[in-house]
Amino acid sequence: MINTLAVVGATGAVGKIILEQIASRNFPAKTIKLLASPRSAGKTIDCGGKKLAVEALTPEAFRGVEIAIGSTPDEVAAEFVPWAVEQGTVVVDESAHFRMQPDVPLVIPEINPEAISLHNGIIASPNCSTTQMVMVMKPLHDAANVRRVLVSTYQSVSGAGIAAIQELRHGMQAWLNKTPEESNVFAHPIAANLIPQIGSAKEGGSTSEELKMVQETQKIFNDHSIGVCATCVRVPVADAHSESLIIETEKPLSPEEAADLLSRFPGVTVNDNLSESTYPMPRNAGGRDDVFVGRIRRDPSGKNSLAMWCVSDNLRKGAATNAVQIAEHLAREMTE
C-alpha cells in the first residue's frame, strides 16, 4: 500500500468517476488527496463515504505524493505534470499532451502492462476512441496479426464535457419545439444531427481525433506497419462511444473464432445474436467498464477481413477506469 495518491481534476466529470473507482476497487493508498483549480479549493467531495477537501493545484501540493492521476485539459497537464515529477511523483496523465512523446509509455493494462515500468515519471492513458478499438484488436492481433483497420466512430457528447451534454439536452428540446438552437460547444447544432468532425483540421483532410487513433494504435502495439483509417463523428448520444470496425488480419479468422477470442479477453464482453436483436448499444454500455462487441461477421469485400461493432463508456474504460488500472499496477510495483 502506498501512502498518498493524488487525483488532479477531481471536480470534473472524469475525476468524479476516478473517485468512484478508487473507492469501489479499494485502491491501495492510505491517503487520497484531491487537487483542482484554486476556484475549487475548499470544496468537499465524497470518496467511498469519506468527505475529502479539495486543495489548490500548486507545485507544493505534490510533496509526499507517490502517484497522481491527472484528468485535465492539455494546457493544465503541460503545467502541472512537471511540478509533480520534480517532487518525485509518478503521474498517470489522461490528457493528450504527453501521449506521443517517445519517452512516455502509452498504456492500456490489458494490452501492454510491461510498458508501465519504462516510465520516467509520466505514463499516458490513450484517447477514449483508441482505447476501445485496440481492446478489440488485441486478441485478434495476437492470434492472426492485424494488418489494417477501417473505423468509423459514433462518439457521444460526453467526450466534450458536461457543457456538451447540456447543449444536447437543450438542443433536443429546441429542435422538438422548433425554437432556435444554441451551438456553443459544437460548431453546429448536435440535436438530431451528426457532425463528422472531432478535433481540429489537419493536413491531408484528417482531424486531430482521427490522427490520434492512427498514431496511438501504432504506439500501443509498437508496430507502425498497422494501417488505420479513421472517420470520427459526433452523434446526439449522451454517453458511450460506438465504433464500426473492419479488421483485416494476416492469417484467416472465422467470425466464430474471433468471437471466442474476444469473449476470453479480459475487459471485453461479446454481445452478439442478430436474430434476437442482441448487440451492444450505448444505453446498455453506459456506467459499465467493459468494451462490448457484436455484429461479428465476415467482410465479403476483403480477404481475411472481419466486420464488427463495439461500444464502450468513454468516461470509464476510455478514461477513468484505464487510468486507475494503471495506477494500481504502479502501486503494486512500488510496494513489492
Residues assigned a catalytic role: 128, 241
Handedness of CA 168, 319, 32, 30 (dihedral sign): positive
Please provide residue 246's backbone torsions phi and psi, each rounded to the nearest 5 degrees. Answer: -120, 115
Residue 119's nearest CA partner among 301, 317, 327 is: 327
Helix (H) or strand (E) holding 295: strand 291-298
CA-to-CA distance for 202 and 197, rounded, in angstroms?
Answer: 11
* Cβ-based neighbour number of residue 59 at 10 Å: 13
187, with CB counted inside 10 A (0-12, 13-18, 19+), is exposed
CA-to-CA distance for 214 and 209, rounded, in angstroms?
Answer: 9
Handedness of CA 65, 314, 270, 140 (dihedral sign): negative
CB 129 within 8 A of CB 116: no
CB 319 within 8 A of CB 127: no
* Cβ-based neighbour number of residue 70 at 10 Å: 29
The cell for 55 is 486543495
* Terminal alpha carbon distance of the chain: 9
CA distances from residue 36 to 6, 45, 50, 53, 71 in whole angstroms, order as listed: 10, 12, 18, 10, 10
The cell for 199 is 478535433
